[in-house]
Chains A and B, each alone.
Chain A
Amino acid sequence: MSGAVATNETILVVGGGISGMTAALEAAECGKDVVLVEKNPSLGGRVSQLYKYFPKLCHPTCGMEINLRRIKANKHLRVLTLAQVEKVEGRAGDYTVTIRLSPRYVNENCTACGACADAVSTEIDNPFNYKLNKMKAAYLPFGMAYPQRYVIDSSIIGTPDAEKAKAACRYDAIDLGMKEQTMTLKAGAIIWATGWRPYDAAKIQPYGYDRYDNVITSVEFERMMDPFGPTSGKLLRPSDGKEAKNVAFIQCAGSRDRNHLKHCSRICCMASLKQSTYVNEQFGDQAQSTIYYIDIRAIDRLEDFYQKVRANPTVKFVKSKVANITEDRESSDVILHGVDTEGYHRYDNRHDLCVLAIGMEPSIDARSIPGGVHADASGFLEADAANGAIFGAGCATNALDVNRAVQSATAASLRAIQVINKVSGAEV
């Protein structure tokens, strides 16, 4: 795909998550030429790592499938994976972008049969499961990966393992001689949709994420529910594999905190409310969820969902930001300490598992985006006339849920289309 031809009537979309895919598809379906670049080996982004969406509790795989069908059916859209933007030069209507392509070591012949993974013995951390388990160094990023092609991890290149993978391939799909490439392409407008990443939970020292096995993050909890995930879809706590029936959720873990992220990450309240339904899904009436919160921010129509969870007798709400967590050495249970705001009662509550509703930060600080754009104090890309035709979309611009990220992506797409129409003379 490195031969992608682009002109200054092309829209470049950076980031292949839900926002980038949406922005790229909306523009391509309007007949614009679009190049979509993604740093990872597959499209999908963080949404593909979720078990269910709130508030409808449907599975993101469904939306992913629709988007992939749209991508495959569109002749105006080209996808580059393992690609990162290095440099952006020029101005609105006339950008020159330098892109670095990392080698996949697997070419178009791949049928995703998996023989290379069987042949390889080296195991590496699985980033799709937030490193909760290991995978072979020849891998398909996840079931619905697009392109549906294996990747040979660069760590085994030059070792006998790589040769074994090559020997196992019956389709001549493995090319161990692939090198990193740099390419430049033209673009009239750029949509920046690099998304978010969970805040580093280990930095919240009193919660002991780095010390206690049974303190995990909300994104990890999400992976546990996946039938193909690290625990085969069971809520098992990491220390001893015991069923986690009594789960604590701590809100504002990293967010709304001047020591960490200054902003409210917006999604975490709804994420925990949603995840409390997972505990019920697994254990029915035996489930016990406790949500520790400062205040629940379930905005506009999401209030209904909050009320539904509130009415669930197996879910308890404690209005308090937990002060610190300790671990019971013998049982590995976590003990949450704090004082509640409704009556100032001191508590030391024992739970099987503690889930930190971790905050969102931009995966790339907008201050370091090549080309120079306006950024807010948290590093989100802010709309500004000085940005030229670089438009932010989705979580690169703010902490957003999927619904709002998609709206933001469509808006960015329309802005980019207007620039392209001016370049082509279709609009003055």
Chain B
Amino acid sequence: MSELNKVMVEKYRNDFLREVEANVEEGNWVKMCMQCGVCSGSCPFGPYWEHPPQEIFMMVRAGKREEVLTSESMWMCTSCYNCIVRCPRELPITHIMHGLANYAHRLGIAPKMNPTRRFAKLFWQNIVKGGRVNELKLSIGLYFMDGFSNGVKKGLEMLPVGLGLLKTGRLNPFGLLGGGKCKGAGDIHKMLKKAQEIENRRKGFAS
């Protein structure tokens, strides 16, 4: 169990709803859910979620901390916003799902092998480095996410697409050598560091 997770368990004890309200983005909306089920029914990925949003809200209120935070469900959200548009109580459901996923990740208890989480990490590391997405490195990183032989296989599969992109000038081959960075990458690093500090202070996390 991570240090932060221990602190939070100690702080909120059995009151998971209060923990969510205090620490999860838009978490204060969870209590407004009236369990009508429109969000779950409207979700295009609904059949693949273990716990649809409506159930997650009920689980939060029932204090099922472990089951919610270690769940893969929130990571299934593709931000289509169908649920937000239809919710009769105007809950920002998409944002709450991302908020829960993000909180679980920070606590270090999000499912380690969840592909969305891994891709999000890959994307973040990639974009932070140069202040701009290095598409070549990102896609290669993505291919090799599940091991070397899988990466080679996927790379070969995608070779015609890559060559096509190269031909039409849509792929920068120097990306592999670290090209394509933006000018003030150092300044972006400073900005991100400051933003992280502010957020940690606001949420009461140790940086």
Partner of B90, one of A258, A322, A323, A338: A258
B24-63 near A? 1/0 per residue, CB < 8 Å = 0000000000111110111000110001101100000000
Q: Does A185 contact B (CB under 8 A)?
A: no
B42: chain A residues at CB < 8 Å are 206, 323-324
In this complex, which of B35, B41, B89, B90 has the most chain A Cβ atoms within 10 angstroms of its Cβ?
A: B41
Cβ A339 vs Cβ B90 within 8 A: no
Known: A206-B42, A320-B41, A321-B36. A257 touches B88 (CB 8 A): yes
As a 0/1 sequence over residues 201 to 219 of chain A, the CB contacts with chain B under 8 angstroms (1 = contact) are 0000010000000000000
Mark A332-347 against chain B: 1 for CB-CB distance below 8 A, else 0.
0000011111001010
CB of B106 within 8 A of chain A?
Answer: no
Contact of A339 with B88 in the complex, beta carbons under 8 Å? no
Q: Interface residues of B toward A: which range?
A: 10 to 19
Contact B86–A341 (Cβ < 8 Å): no
Q: Are A323 and B88 in contact (CB under 8 A)?
A: no
Among B38, B46, B85, residue most surrounded by chain A Cβ atoms (within 10 Å): B38
Task: Judge whether A256 is part of the interface by a CB distance below 8 angstroms.
Answer: yes
Least Cβ–Cβ distance between A98 and chain B, in angstroms: 41
Partner among B34, B37, B51 whose Cβ is within 8 Å of the Cβ of A323? B37
Known: A294-B34, A321-B38, A323-B37. A259 touches B52 (CB 8 A): no
Query: Distance in Å from the Cβ of A205 to the closest Cβ of chain B?
Result: 9
Near A by CB (< 8 A), chain B positions 8-36 give 34-36
A252 within 8 A of B: yes
Interface 1/0s, chain A 94-106, versus B by CB < 8 A?
0000000000000
Which residues of chain A from 253 to 298 have any CB-CB distance to chain B below 8 Å in the complex? 256-260, 294
- CB neighbours (8 Å) of B55 from chain A are 344
Are A346 and B46 in contact, with the CB atoms below 8 A? Answer: yes
Q: Which of A305-335 contact B (CB under 8 A)?
A: 320-324
Whether B89 pairs with A258 at a CB distance below 8 angstroms is yes
Find out whether the CB atom of B41 lies under 8 angstroms from the CB atom of A338: yes
- CB of B52, distance to nearest CB on chain A (Å): 6
Among A294, A324, A344, the most chain B Cβ lie within 10 Å of the Cβ of A344
Q: Is the CB of B41 within 8 A of A322?
A: yes
Q: Which residues of A contact B88 (CB under 8 A)?
A: 252, 256-260, 321
Q: Tell me if B41 and A339 are in contact (CB < 8 A).
A: yes
With CB as the reference atom, state the residue of chain A lying closest to B47: A346
Partner of A339, one of B34, B37, B85, B86: B37
B40 CB contacts on chain A under 8 angstroms:
323, 338-339, 344, 346
Query: Which residues on the B side are within 8 Å of A320 (C-beta)?
Result: 36-37, 41
Q: A259-B90, A321-B88, A346-B47 are in contact. Are A337 and B41 (CB under 8 A)?
A: yes
Q: What CA separation (Å) do A257 and B89 show in the bound complex?
A: 6
Q: A258-B88, A341-B54, A344-B55 are in contact. Are A323 and B38 (CB under 8 A)?
A: yes
A260 vs B51: C-alpha distance when bound (angstroms): 28
**Which chain A residues lie closer than 8 Å to B90 at the CB level?**
258-259
Please indicate the chain A residues that have their CB under 8 angstroms from the CB of B35 in the complex: 294, 341
CB distance from A269 to the nearest CB of B (A): 14
Residues of B close to A338: CB separation below 8 A: 37-38, 40-41
Q: B142 to nearest A CB, angstroms?
A: 31
Contacts of A294 in B (CB 8 A): 34-36
Please pick, from B34, B36, B41, B51, the residue contacting A324 in the complex, using a CB distance under 8 A: B41
Chain A nearest Cβ from B40, distance in angstroms? 4
User: What CA separation (Å) do A323 and B82 show in the bound complex?
Assistant: 10
B86 & A259 in contact (Cβ 8 Å cutoff) = yes
| Chain B min CB distance to A263 (Å) | 12
| A354-370, CB < 8 A from B | none
B141-153 interface mask toward A, CB cutoff 8 Å, 1 = contact, 0 = none? 0000000000000
Closest to A295 in B: B34
Considering the chains assembled together, what is the distance between the CA atoms of A9 and B90 in angstroms? 49
B residues adjacent to A (C-beta < 8 A): 34-38, 40-42, 46-47, 51-52, 54-55, 85-86, 88-90
15 extra interface residue pairs, beta carbon distance < 8 Å, beyond A259-B90, A338-B41, A344-B51: A206-B86, A252-B36, A252-B88, A257-B88, A259-B85, A294-B34, A322-B41, A323-B37, A323-B40, A323-B86, A324-B41, A338-B37, A339-B54, A341-B54, A346-B40
Q: Can you list 25 A-B contacts (CB < 8 A)?
A: A206-B86, A256-B34, A256-B88, A260-B88, A320-B37, A321-B36, A321-B37, A321-B38, A321-B88, A323-B38, A323-B40, A323-B42, A323-B86, A324-B42, A338-B37, A338-B41, A339-B52, A339-B54, A340-B37, A341-B36, A344-B40, A344-B52, A346-B40, A346-B41, A346-B47
Sorted from nearest, which 8 A-B pairs have the closest CB atoms?
A323-B41, A338-B41, A321-B36, A257-B88, A339-B40, A323-B42, A320-B37, A294-B36
